[in-house]
Amino acid sequence: MYGSGEAAALSIQAYRDFRTYAAAVARHRPRDSVVLAQGSTLQDPRFVPCGRKPVAVVLDVDETALLNVGYEYDQAAQKRSYDPKRWSDWEKTGVRAMRPLPGAVAALHAIRAAGIRVIFNSNRSHENAAYTELALDAAALGPARHLKELFVTGDAPGGSAKDSRRALIARRYCVVAMAGDQLGDFSDLFNAKELPISGRRETVMSGKIARLWGNGWFVLPNPVYGAGVKGNFDDVFPIDTRWGDPAGGQ
Amino acid sequence: MYGSGEAAALSIQAYRDFRTYAAAVARHRPRDSVVLAQGSTLQDPRFVPCGRKPVAVVLDVDETALLNVGYEYDQAAQKRSYDPKRWSDWEKTGVRAMRPLPGAVAALHAIRAAGIRVIFNSNRSHENAAYTELALDAAALGPARHLKELFVTGDAPGGSAKDSRRALIARRYCVVAMAGDQLGDFSDLFNAKELPISGRRETVMSGKIARLWGNGWFVLPNPVYGAGVKGNFDDVFPIDTRWGDPAGGQ
């Protein structure tokens, strides 16, 4: 899946959708952004108002804007599990084997040409922020200057939970569209501990949240890691969808 | 990935895009369809003209319109490899454990309400066509009457290669949009034997074909099987994107 034609097509499609939507909405200066306001729930989402703030889009970095192809190769080839030190080494040394997602460069170019700011909200480490700036520049996705167009872990409270960084960004900008590969790239509410995987999927498909997908919130596919690939059997396959061959075949 | 919130979000997004695009294009009756004409290459695609034919969209069935949740559960729980007989049993008996993709029911409803025909082009078996009609009806995606709105393997020459069925459909209809989870749902040219996986990805990202994704050709994610998950290491990770920790860490 990682290197497939299908994945490239999905990416080009999502970025076209993202770019077209952002340009159309920015022309009409919406009343509300697509960043959830404090006090929202997934059943009753409310959005930070735009006021007169300059228009922007917000993107995650890893597997949304940048493909960490070299890292994933090494992980798979050596059958490694996640090691924070190795990931940190990758952030510092892997620039040459990172690639922009298909469609990303053209989309961000068009978005900036429309006068819309591009802001990155990443869980990459604070100590390696300068390397991440460099990686985004090298992939023709920049500028991504730390604390101007790039926010990383530690730039606001909450660690790898992104809501406080989103709030910081939404105080400065009218965020008209966001892109990410995991639900936490849109709201920490999706990662609430009490929400089981099937419940998480239900909230995605319900109410006002359901209307945001492809309509302010844009998802890129990531089958390799993260919340999208968690879950044991019973989480992924609810009991009413199970089936064994009634003919009794082995 | 199969049961994740991220997958549901991707599906809702793709179906919103598909529905919006189809309705907009149908209003302006395009000169050309999005079905490749005979004699096309991926470098020089040409399209079947629309003439005065009634407007339609074409979708694949499995993992595009219908999720085979019960089958995938059984395959995974029993660690099975693909067995055509077991798949055929599923086509006949699995209706209750099939689900529409998130967003599909609303999208097809809106498309039909706009006066656009919905046609399914599936590699399900000819002998089980009546069961497939039933499954699509049960998932609220019908009508899908065999040889009217549903075409399966054997309805035109070529076996599981779909181009000849697409040609048959394109003789009757002006096909303005297509949806699928594998590149073969758009053209058999992507499955040409001489095309390696990296070449396949390159053709997706190049020239006129690149401009079709999200713009007439709509992809749904399928990480479970098919062309999107084929490929050995060297195919997926080209040599210029490989990386080993330069610090020499183990």
Contact A14, B214 (CB under 8 A): yes
What pLDDT does B1 receive?
A: 53
Name the residue facing B228 among A4, A102, A246 (closest C-beta).
A4
Shortest Cα distance, chain B CAs vs residue A138, angstroms: 14
Given a cut of 60, is residue A189 above it in pLDDT?
A: yes
Residue B131 in 3-state DSSP? helix
Residue with more model confidence, A242 or A16: A16
pLDDT tens-digit profile of B41-52?
999 999 999 999
Strand partners, B100: B66
Neighbours of A167 (CB within 10 A): 16
Which residues in chain B are contacts of A237 at CB distance < 8 A? 3, 69-70, 72-73, 76-77
A70: confidence class by pLDDT, cuts 50, 70, 90: confident
What pLDDT does B214 receive?
A: 98
Sheet holding B217-219, edge to edge: B150-151, B117-121, B55-59, B174-180, B217-219
C-alpha span between B244 and B12 (Å, rounded): 38
Q: How far is CA B97 from CA A21, A149, A239, B137, in A?
A: 35, 46, 10, 13
Contact B152, B125 (CB under 8 A): yes
Inspect the interface and report whether the beta carbons of B237 and A210 lie closer than 8 Å: no
Which residues in chain A are contacts of B73 at CB distance < 8 A? 233, 236-237, 241-243
In 3D, which of A130, A47, A74, A61 has the Cα closest to residue A101? A61
Contact B243, A90 (CB under 8 A): yes
In 3D, which of B6, B128, B153, B131 has the Cα closest to residue A227? B6
Which residues in chain A are contacts of B71 at CB distance < 8 A? 243
Given a cut of 80, is residue B250 above it in pLDDT?
A: no
Inspect the interface and report whether the beta carbons of B73 and A237 lie closer than 8 Å: yes
Which residues in chain B are contacts of A34 at CB distance < 8 A? none
% of chain B at pLDDT higher than 70: 88
Shortest Cα distance, chain B CAs vs residue A21, angstroms: 10
Q: How far is CA A127 from CA A58, B142, B244, in A?
A: 21, 55, 21
Given a cut of 90, is residue B238 above it in pLDDT?
A: no
Name the residue facing B228 among A1, A86, A219 (closest C-beta).
A1
Given a cut of 50, is residue B223 above it in pLDDT?
A: yes
Neighbours of B112 (CB within 10 A): 13
What pLDDT does A245 receive?
A: 55
Inspect the interface and report whether the beta carbons of B10 and A10 lie closer than 8 Å: yes
What pLDDT does B249 receive?
A: 43
Inspect the interface and report whether the beta carbons of B183 and A9 lie closer than 8 Å: yes
Sheet holding A117-121, edge to edge: A150-151, A117-121, A55-59, A174-180, A217-219
| Chain A residue with minimum CA distance to B88 | A245
Phi-psi group of B74: left, alpha or beta (phi > 0 → left; psi -120 to 50 → alpha; rest → beta): alpha
| Chain A residue with minimum CA distance to B90 | A245
The DSSP annotation for A180-247 comes to: ESSGGGT-GGGG-TT--HHHHHHHHTSHHHHTTBTTTEEE----SSSGGG---HHHHS-GGG----TT
CB environment B138-170: b (16+ within 10 A), e (fewer): ebebbebeeeebbbbbebbeeeebbbbbbbbbb
Contact B100, B171 (CB under 8 A): no
Greatest pairwise CA separation for chain B in angstroms: 66
Which residues in chain A are contacts of B183 at CB distance < 8 A? 5-6, 9
Q: How far is CA A177 from CA A15, A172, B154, in A?
A: 11, 15, 45
Token look-up 């790239």 returns: A185
Mean pLDDT value across residues B141-148: 98
The DSSP annotation for B145-201 comes to: -BTTTEE-TTSSSSTT--HHHHHHHHHH-EEEEEEESSGGGT-GGGG-TT--HHHHH
pLDDT tens-digit profile of A76-85?
888 889 999 9
Residue B16 in 3-state DSSP? helix
Which residues in chain A are contacts of B190 at CB distance < 8 A? 5
What's the ipTM? 0.91
pTM value? 0.91
Which residues in chain B are contacts of A4 at CB distance < 8 A? 197, 200-201, 227-231, 236
Q: What is the DSSP letter of A81?
A: P
C-alpha span between A167 and A165 (Å, rounded): 5
Given a cut of 50, is residue A250 above it in pLDDT?
A: no
Mean pLDDT, chain B, integer: 90
Inspect the interface and report whether the beta carbons of B227 and A17 lie closer than 8 Å: no
| Chain B residue with minimum CA distance to A182 | B6
Given a cut of 70, is residue B211 above it in pLDDT?
A: yes
How far does CA B44 lie from the centroid of its chain?
Answer: 22
What pLDDT does B204 receive?
A: 96
Q: Which secondary structure element, helix H or strand E, spans residue B86, and what is its range?
A: helix B84-93
What pLDDT does A55 receive?
A: 97
What pLDDT does A248 receive?
A: 46
Given a cut of 50, is residue A225 above it in pLDDT?
A: yes
Inspect the interface and report whether the beta carbons of A227 and B4 lie closer than 8 Å: yes
A223: confidence class by pLDDT, cuts 50, 70, 90: low
Q: What is the DSSP letter of A158?
A: S
Residue with more model confidence, B98 or A105: A105
Which residues in chain B are contacts of A96 at CB distance < 8 A? 243
Inspect the interface and report whether the beta carbons of A183 and B9 lie closer than 8 Å: yes
Inspect the interface and report whether the beta carbons of B76 and A246 lie closer than 8 Å: no
